[in-house]
Structure 1
Amino acid sequence: MLKRVTHLFVGATIGFLYCQLPALCIYSIAPSVVGAYIPDFDLHYRHRKLLHNIFSALLLTLVAWIIVNQINLGEVLDASVVWKSFMLGYLSHLFLDFLTPKGVFLLYPISNKSLAAGIFKSNSFFANTLFILASTTLILWRIYELIGEKFFSTVLRFLL
């Protein structure tokens, strides 16, 4: 379970890093988190093949692009932020799974060869905790960058 949380944290981090205006962060964070989680929808059917490849990433990003272009996001100045965030979140999932011994089938269905760095096991408490702590640190740093002093006064009021 912790490994899925790791994907969500890394996805949220990417969304925060991609966000330019605090009021519009939801348009980068939500799609990035969704993109980071979607590859695991293939858990019970050809896991790490069906949705853990570059073709699925491109196809689903195209679907996100079509959806974004069909709806009116109103205040969003650059709607491409939504589908780009989705794509970056999706690719972050592939990258994290590439770091495991099982790896990912990046060119499936053209190739059945798994690409794996084998650095961390996906159920490694240490690795998952490390990524979650790094993500949390980056998110807090980015929040501070976006809203500055208001961030610290809000946190202090919450803690005191």
Structure 2
Amino acid sequence: MTGKTHIAIGVAAGLTIAYGKPINDQLIIITASTLGSLIPDLDHPKSKLNQKLLFLKNELYRIIFFIATAAGFLYLYLQSNNVIFALLSLIFLFISFSTHRGFTHSILGFLIFTYIIKNISSQYSIPYLYESISLGYLLHLVADFLTPKGIKLFYPLNLNIASPIVINPNSGIDSVIFTLASIYSIFLLFKFIL
């Protein structure tokens, strides 16, 4: 799936969960589910998030950037002895060496990342952060699982797993999903206002 479709799915999921909740919680839920829907593509230099994070949009710079990020979190861990920093260092190191749809698109990547978010959420008392990011992340994995290329679900095994029923992103179905998710989101926004 394309980045814009992942964003549309993340926003639609966030709006669905946020409906009827206080405004502060709504903002956290929608932002977190949208961010969660983009995180798995950190392993691609031209992903939506990397367009904002990386000065140069190429694979070598992506690797260097995430190794440096891992080193920064390792330094913070050594200074504070906070396990979250050690796990963040580990996850960014894995991201730096992962191929697209590898570590970040696996069960292992999902579990480590959501464990970190759960701890951050409870440590800083941020309601709905864990659930929202996890949902956005999971929906990203499901969407990519439905493509012909599939995902390396059982990373570090170098085996792409795809759904028996696939959606070819180049067939126009991606645009249909984007449009439907956007229409649904607009509908929910009107319900929020009324």
Instruction: Give the TM interval when normalised to the shorter protein.
Output: 0.7 to 0.9
Over the matched positions of the two proteins, sequence identity in percent amounts to 29
**What TM-score comes out, normalization by structure 2 length?**
0.65
> Is 1:32 aligned to residue 79 of structure 2?
no
Instruction: Tell me how far apart the structure 1 counterparts of residues 13 and 131 of structure 2 sit (CA, whole Å).
Output: 11
More helix by share: 2
Distance 2:183 2:22 in 1: 18
**Is 1:41 matched with 2:42?**
yes
- Count matched residues: 139
Identify unmatched segments of 5+ residues in structure 1. Answer: 74-78, 149-160
State whether structure 2 residue 101 is matched by structure 1 residue 101: no
| TM-score, normalised by the number of residues in structure 1 | 0.78
Q: Deviations over 1:97-154 (max 9, x none)?
A: 1111110111212x332211362233x2612211111111211222233332xxxxxx
- In the alignment, what sits opposite 1:64? 117
For the residues of structure 2 that align with 1:34 and 1:63, how far apart are their CA atoms?
15
Q: Verify the 8 A CA contact 2:43 2:99 in the aligned structure 1.
A: yes
Deviations 1:54-97 (A, max 9, x none): 12111111111111222244xxxxx1x21111001001111111
User: Are 1:21 and 1:146, in contact at CA under 8 Å, matched by a contact in 2?
Assistant: no
1:16 aligns with 2:69: no
Q: Which residue of 1 aligns with 2:50?
A: none
Separation in structure 1 between the aligned mates of residue 42 and residue 180 of structure 2, nearest angstrom: 25
Aligned with residue 132 of structure 2, among 85, 89, 96: 85
Q: Distance in 2 between matches of 1:96 and 1:87?
A: 14
* CA distance in structure 2 between the partners assigned to 1:10 and 1:125 by the alignment: 18
Q: Aligned partners of 2:111 and 2:181: how far apart in 1?
A: 25
> CA–CA distance in 2 between the matches of 1:119 and 1:48?
16
